[in-house]
């Protein structure tokens, strides 16, 4: 038997409406709803672990945290014995995109609550690139309905790099100003156009100004190793955090400038280990370091975890457990100006806590949100009703024509027997790419791939306006050895279709298949469909349960291995190949883009 309740029952009232009741419970004049006894209190404010602690909860908030809450126990009070286990604040993911989980906000919550995540700060700029402000509103409203805290950052860069790509929509300063009035908007999402900020682009400076006027947090995204004047100009422009660092010096530079260094461990980005050395070896104050995922796909969520996975990893890199937990709780809450609401077990805060039996391994036995037990032993105990997306959010893949193998032909310069071409180089477990070069053969006037040296073809197919446009180039790093092609309508950030393959017939089949199902990711080999994950909501999210999507994603991963790809979470790498705000070389509907100079470049050198 569970203590499941309707979703509305776990939405607490504001502190101002229940403060006097909390005082009465703390004083013993009224009984608590729930008392958890005999726990080891992980106090993120003091950095201590306090044994023999009782926690009294009323109206969805902590009322008393101390050595004996017997005075708060009355008729009807539920009492739980922690048995000496650790009492840990609910974990916070400071930066993430739900869409990268392949599922809706509802399904994402179902997947991560058992892993101890009770607060998320989501940036729905994926759906914004497809559906614009109405898409952001859809995810905002779904987030409000969740039984945990899902705060929304208003996307800042749609498109992410004006002039270098064309998204399905465009957001303006006026859109940002409007969104700042919505109840659940916590700030401005990652400002990816860092050259625009440094150049005082009026859209970037206007959006940041509207956010600051609203008293909300400005999210950063400085994806360059250059820590000289462009970096300083970007910081002066107002960004308050950054998750794009990959080196210890990146984290140190950001913290010294008054920013929060967000260290990410997602499904494919492993940036914690290098940067956390700034704390463990460099002695930098950990208060300005925050942990996040950015991002995790459904397979990782279901099989490996979410923020518990990140905290475990941070501890394994030498952080003290309490320090790692601070980086995933209190530090995040303070950054988003929510310290009085979340991020710690302390009076007045929302009663989000975990009962943990092994702190270093983050073995989570029970999860409470707003004073209600949501999960036990890794199993969700509440029902979260599905959120119904309207038809307007579907059927967004518009190819304009049926693709054929010839659409992926790359003509060589007249008379050439060989060409030197630019090649996008994938870096395993990192978001940046390398700008490589390769000498490729010419056959019958067409440039051929070089599978022996791991150079295959990549194409971006326009899918928002049905233009039929195809941009062709080359990519290295996937290791495909068979005739195959993988296509995805998740292609950050403009979300056209990216297809990578060693066989043009398979490339055409894969793209056309996504047109049939309304988006997703699919793998073909020699004319046969090996795996498919349908994502009909904006071509970005499935409308199925997270565990079903995870199973399909696992089949996709296994199929990719069979055709030769050994990259960790290669799908995530695939989805970022059009992200024209992270160096070095990317593809867009405009062409091949050098992201060190932010200029279109020729395929041939």
Give mean pLDDT, residues 540-566.
Answer: 94
pLDDT band of residue 298 (cuts 50, 70, 90) is confident
pLDDT band of residue 456 (cuts 50, 70, 90) is very high
At 323, list the tokens.
């320090």
Collapsing DSSP states into helix, strand and coil, what is residue 364?
strand
Inter-axis angle of helices 105-112 and 546-562, nearest 10: 90
pLDDT in tens, 149-200: 999 999 999 999 999 999 999 999 999 999 999 999 999 999 999 999 999 9
> Is the per-residue pLDDT at 542 higher than 60?
yes
Angstrom distance (rounded) from CA 524 to CA 509: 7
Burial of residue 164, with CB atoms counted within 10 A of its CB: 0-12 exposed, 13-18 middle, 19 or more buried: buried
Among 152-161, 294-303, 490-499, 508-517, the range scoring the smallest mean pLDDT is 294-303
Q: Which residues contact 507 (CB under 8 A, 6 or more apart)?
A: 403, 405, 408, 457, 459, 485, 487, 499, 501
Percent of the chain scored above 90 by pLDDT? 92
CA 593 to each of CA 158, 306, 433, 577: distance values in angstroms, whole numbers, following the listed order: 17, 33, 12, 11
Residue 54's DSSP bridge partners are: 66
pLDDT in tens, 432-452: 999 999 999 999 999 999 999
Residue 476's DSSP bridge partners are: 425, 455
pLDDT at 5: 37
β-pairing, 34-43 vs 363-369, is unpaired
pLDDT at 566: 85
pLDDT at 10: 53
Give mean pLDDT, residues 487-502.
Answer: 97
> Is the per-residue pLDDT at 280 higher than 50?
yes
pLDDT at 4: 36
Question: Nearest-CA neighbor of 155 among 245, 222, 199, 218?
Answer: 218
Give mean pLDDT, residues 123-150.
Answer: 97
Q: How close are the terminal C-alpha atoms of the chain, in Å?
A: 67
Which secondary structure element, helix H or strand E, spans residue 530, and what is its range? strand 528-534
Tell me the residue ranges of DSSP E strands in 359-432: 363-369, 372-376, 379-380, 418-426
Residue 334's DSSP bridge partners are: none
> Is the per-residue pLDDT at 3 higher than 50?
no
User: H helices of 103-215, where?
Assistant: 105-112, 125-131, 133-144, 173-179, 194-198, 202-213
At 295, list the tokens.
């991002």
Angstrom distance (rounded) from CA 22 to CA 20: 5
Angstrom distance (rounded) from CA 467 to CA 507: 18
pLDDT in tens, 31-66: 999 999 999 999 999 999 999 999 999 999 999 999
pLDDT in tens, 6-21: 333 458 999 999 999 9
């Amino acid at each position: 038997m569970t203590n499941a309740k309707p979703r509305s029952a776990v939405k607490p009232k504001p502190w101002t409406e229940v403060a006097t009741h909390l005082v009465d419970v703390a004083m013993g004049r009224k009984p608590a709803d729930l008392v958890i006894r005999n726990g080891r209190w992980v106090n993120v404010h003091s950095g201590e672990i306090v044994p023999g602690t009782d926690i009294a909860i009323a109206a969805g908030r902590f009322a008393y945290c101390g050595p004996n809450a017997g005075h708060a126990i009355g008729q009807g009070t539920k009492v739980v014995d922690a048995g000496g286990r650790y009492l840990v604040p609910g974990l916070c993911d400071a930066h993430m995109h739900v869409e990268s989980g392949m599922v809706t906000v509802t399904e994402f919550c179902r997947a991560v609550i058992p892993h101890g995540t009770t607060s998320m700060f989501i940036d729905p700029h994926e759906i914004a690139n497809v559906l614009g402000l109405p898409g952001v509103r859809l995810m905002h409203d779904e987030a409000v309905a969740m039984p945990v805290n899902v705060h929304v950052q208003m996307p800042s860069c749609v498109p992410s790099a004006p002039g270098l790509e064309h998204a399905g929509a465009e957001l303006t300063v006026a859109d940002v100003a409007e969104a700042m009035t919505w109840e659940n908007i916590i700030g401005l999402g990652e400002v990816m156009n860092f050259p625009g900020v440094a150049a005082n682009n009026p859209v970037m400076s206007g959006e940041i100004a509207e956010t600051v006027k609203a008293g909300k947090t400005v999210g950063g995204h400085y994806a360059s190793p250059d820590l000289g004047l462009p970096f300083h100009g970007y910081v002066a422009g107002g960004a308050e955090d950054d998750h794009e660092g990959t080196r210890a010096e990146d984290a140190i530079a950001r913290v010294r400038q008054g920013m929060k260094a967000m260290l990410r461990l997602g499904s494919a980005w492993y940036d914690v280990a290098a940067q956390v050395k700034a704390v463990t070896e460099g002695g930098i104050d950990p208060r300005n370091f925050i942990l996040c995922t950015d991002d995790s796909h459904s397979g990782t969520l279901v099989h490996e975890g979410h923020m518990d996975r990140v905290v475990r990893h941070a501890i394994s890199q030498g952080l003290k457990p309490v320090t790692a937990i601070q980086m995933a709780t209190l530090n995040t809450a303070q950054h988003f100006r929510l310290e009085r609401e979340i991020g710690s077990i302390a009076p007045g805060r929302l009663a989000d806590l975990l009962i943990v039996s092994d702190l270093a391994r983050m073995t989570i036995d029970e999860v409470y949100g707003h004073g209600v037990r949501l999960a036990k032993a890794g199993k969700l105990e509440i029902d979260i009703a599905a959120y119904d997306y309207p038809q307007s959010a579907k059927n967004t893949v518009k190819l304009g024509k049926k693709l054929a193998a010839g659409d992926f032909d790359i003509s060589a310069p007249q008379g050439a027997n060989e060409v030197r071409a630019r090649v996008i180089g994938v870096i395993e477990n990192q978001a940046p790419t390398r700008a490589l070069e390769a000498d490729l053969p010419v056959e019958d006037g067409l440039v051929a791939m070089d599978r022996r040296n791991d150079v295959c073809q990549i194409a971006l197919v326009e899918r928002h306006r049905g233009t039929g446009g195809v941009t062709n180039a080359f990519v290295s790093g996937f290791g495909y050895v068979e005739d195959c092609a993988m296509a995805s309508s998740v292609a950050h950030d403009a979300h056209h279709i990216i297809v990578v393959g060693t066989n043009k017939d398979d490339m055409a089949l894969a793209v056309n298949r996504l047109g049939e199902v309304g988006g997703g990711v699919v793998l073909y080999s020699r004319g046969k469909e090996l795996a498919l994950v349908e994502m009909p909501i904006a071509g970005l999210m499935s409308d199925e349960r997270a565990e079903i999507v995870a199973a399909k994603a696992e089949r996709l991963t296994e199929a990719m291995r069979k055709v030769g790809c050994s990259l960790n979470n290669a799908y995530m790498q695939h989805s970022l190949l059009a992200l024209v705000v992270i160096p070095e070389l990317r593809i867009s509907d405009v062409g091949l883009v050098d992201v060190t100079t932010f200029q279109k470049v020729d395929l041939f050198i």
